[in-house]
Amino acid sequence: MEVLGIVGAGIMGSDLAMFFAESGYRVILNDRDAYRLAAAREKIHDRLTGYERKGRLDAMRMAELESHVETRENLETFSEADIVIECVTEDLGIKKEVFVELDRICRPGVILASNTSSKSITAIAAATKRPESVIGLHFMNPVRAMRLVEIICGLATTRETFETVKQIVKKAGKEYVESRDYPGFIANRILMPMINEAIFALYEGAGTVEAIDKVMKLGMNQPMGPLELADMVGLDIVLAILDELYKGFGDTKYRPCPLLKKYVAAGYQGRKSGRGFYTY
Residues 150, 196, 228, 244: which is the catalytic one?
150
- Respond yes or no on whether the N-terminal peptide bond of residue 108 is cis (omega within 30° of 0): no
Based on the residue annotation, tell me whether 196 is a catalytic residue of this protein.
Answer: no
For residue 9, give the H/E element and its range: none
φ, ψ of residue 78 to 5 degrees: the values are -75, 0
CB atoms within 10 A of CB 258: 11
Residues 114, 118, 188, 196: which is the catalytic one?
188
Find the radius of gyration of the CA atoms of the chain: 19
The SS3 call for residue 158 is: coil
**Distance from C-alpha of 7 to C-alpha of 196, rounded to nearest angstrom:** 29
Based on the residue annotation, tell me whether 150 is a catalytic residue of this protein.
Answer: yes
**Distance from C-alpha of 99 to C-alpha of 85, rounded to nearest angstrom:** 10
Helical H segments across 28-145, by residue range: 34-53, 59-67, 92-105, 121-125
Burial label for 83, CB within 10 Å (0-12, 13-18, 19+), is buried
Based on the residue annotation, tell me whether 115 is a catalytic residue of this protein.
Answer: no
Based on the residue annotation, tell me whether 67 is a catalytic residue of this protein.
Answer: no
- Beta bridge pairs of residue 270: 275
Residues 117, 118, 179, 196: which is the catalytic one?
117
Active site residues: 117, 138, 150, 188
